Amino acid sequence: MTWVARSAPLLFAVLVAAAAHADGGQQAAREAYDRGVQAHNRGDLGRAAEEFARADALAPSPVALGAAIDAAVAAKLPVLGMELVARAARGAPADPPPTLKRSVEAARAAFAGKTGRITVVCNEGAPCSATVDGREVAPNVERVVVVGEHTIVFRVGGQDESRRVQVLPDVALELHPSAAADLKATPPASLLSGAGAGAAPPPASLASPAKRAEPAPEAQGGKPLPPFVLIVGGSLTVVAAAAAVWTGVTAGNLHDEFEAARCPELAGAGCEDLASSGSARQTRANILIATTGVLGAVTFAAGLLWVDWGVGDRKATTVRLAPELGSSRGGLHLVGTF
């Protein structure tokens, strides 16, 4: 019996097991998708987004992924939404379906400026683990977080180091344990071997452990309003101005009729009606003129003080925070692309 004949049963068993595993994954994906549909129908959009995302993870599908992104946008879940957008970017074909492209664009617009990214990187030769806000994260894996302050805890060689960092909109932070934590975890060979009289003294940078890297200072928050607010305010101002002009013109016409009828000299029911209508029109015109002025002033102030003109053009910024050992002290090494 040849080796092919002897291996045939084993090969057949492997193929059957692989097919069964694939069928199991498809079945689990269908069940997750069905749970997502049920959650969506009862209005639990957050659960629907999670189940649709689980279905796509089990059996990648642009339909399930698009449904997950749409549900995350509807449920206002920026972290899950941007994680799914990143998943779509990683696994998207050269020409993704139009519906998936629309879902991705809608999520990017809805969550612009609401998330940043954190990547924990262990220093060379010093394995580490870390948590972000109490949740364990894998080193060298980018994690999406909401904008604001977060607590990072490194564990290096049994030593914990806690740090608070400020995550800015659309900024990627790369965080390393401080040099002091590395020195406690893995002392250099010169410190381990120099017990004798001829041992060389440790370098000054090791005798005085490096300072713990401080988080980047909190930057001023972005302006809260998008540019379309200025368009709305300007449109309302124009409408109010047009209404004021029209009301003023009609009031003037009524005044001309009042004069033509010699109402100042002759009293009559018609004159009373003209006087009443003209007075009301004049009052409305004055109110509309004041409204136009207020709307114009508010729109101008909003455009100057509160509208963020850089929302559409903001590019992701990468900042790397890493400890640095100098000749006499530690420090914080900041490298960024802006």
Q: What is the pLDDT of residue 222?
A: 58
| Average pLDDT of the chain, as a whole number | 74
Residue 337 lies in a domain: no
| The predicted structure's pLDDT at residue 5 | 43
**122 shares a domain with 171:** yes
- The CATH number assigned to the domain holding 127 equals 2.60.40
Q: Binning pLDDT at 50, 70 and 90, where does residue 274 land?
A: low
Q: Which of 81, 110, 139 is the last residue of a domain?
A: 110
Give the model confidence (pLDDT) of 239-262 as tens digits: 888 887 888 888 778 777 767 766
Q: Which backbone phi and psi does 214 adopt, to 5 degrees?
A: -85, 150
Sequence-distant (≥ 6) Cβ neighbours of residue 117 within 8 angstroms: 142, 143, 144, 145, 167, 171, 172, 173
CA distance 200 to 189: 11
User: Model confidence over 299-311: pLDDT tens digits?
Assistant: 787 777 776 765 4
301 three-state secondary structure: helix
Confidence at residue 180, expressed as pLDDT on a 0 to 100 scale: 55
Q: Do 252 and 168 lie in a common domain?
A: no
CA distances to 117, 132, 176, 238 from 154, rounded to whole Å, are 17, 9, 9, 57
The answer on 7 and 106 residing in a single domain is: yes
Do 148 and 205 lie in a common domain? yes
Supply the pLDDT for residue 204: 42
Band the pLDDT of 202: cuts 50, 70, 90: very low
- Whether 11 shows a pLDDT value over 50: the answer reads no
319 against 249, higher pLDDT: 249
Residue 56 located in a structural domain:
yes
- Check residue 279 and give its pLDDT: 82
What CATH number does the domain containing 14 carry? Answer: 1.25.40.10
Task: Name the more confident of 293 and 256.
Answer: 293
Q: What is the DSSP letter of 261?
A: T
Identify whether residues 9 and 78 lie together within a single domain.
Answer: yes
Question: Is there a single domain that holds both residue 106 and residue 121?
Answer: no
Higher pLDDT: 39 or 260? It is: 39
Q: Is the pLDDT of residue 8 over 70?
A: no
In terms of domains, do 216 and 256 share one?
Answer: no
Amino acid at 309: W
Among residues of the chain, what percentage have pLDDT more than 70?
65
Q: Which of 61, 77, 110 is the last residue of a domain?
A: 110
Task: Please check whether residues 93 and 127 belong to one and the same domain.
Answer: no
Q: Which domain holds residue 146?
A: 116-187+200-221
Q: What is the pLDDT of residue 97?
A: 86
Is residue 40 over pLDDT 90? yes
Residue 1's beta-bridge partner residues?
none
pLDDT at 109: 94
pLDDT of residue 44: 95
* 68 falls within a domain: yes
Measured CA to CA, the distance from residue 172 to residue 320 in angstroms comes to: 8
Nearest to 100 by CA among 62, 70, 71: 62
User: Is residue 46 assigned to a domain?
Assistant: yes
**Residue with more model confidence, 255 or 328:** 255
User: Domain check: are 13 and 78 in the same one?
Assistant: yes
Task: Tell me how many domains the chain contains.
Answer: 3
Given a cut of 60, whether residue 314 has pLDDT beyond it is: no
Residue 314 in any domain: the answer is no
- 78 assigned to some structural domain: yes
Tell which of 110, 129, 155 closes a domain. Answer: 110
- For residues 145, 149, 151, 152, the Cα torsion angle rounded to the nearest 10 degrees is 60
* Whether residue 281 sits in one domain with residue 251: yes
**Separation between Cα atoms, residue 68 and residue 59, nearest integer Å:** 13
Q: Is the pLDDT of residue 270 over 90?
A: no
Give 55-85 pLDDT, tens digit per residue: 999 998 889 999 999 999 999 999 999 999 9
> Looking at residue 264, what DSSP letter applies?
T
Q: Is the pLDDT of residue 54 over 90?
A: yes
The mean-pLDDT minimum among 41-50, 60-69, 215-224 falls in 215-224
Which tens digit of pLDDT belongs to each residue from 131-186?
999 999 888 888 899 999 999 999 988 888 998 999 999 899 889 888 655 545 45
Q: Is residue 53 part of a domain?
A: yes
Q: Above 50 in pLDDT, residue 217?
A: no
Q: Has residue 313 been placed in a domain?
A: no
My answer on whether 213 and 149 are in the same domain is: yes
Residues 217 and 234 in one domain: no
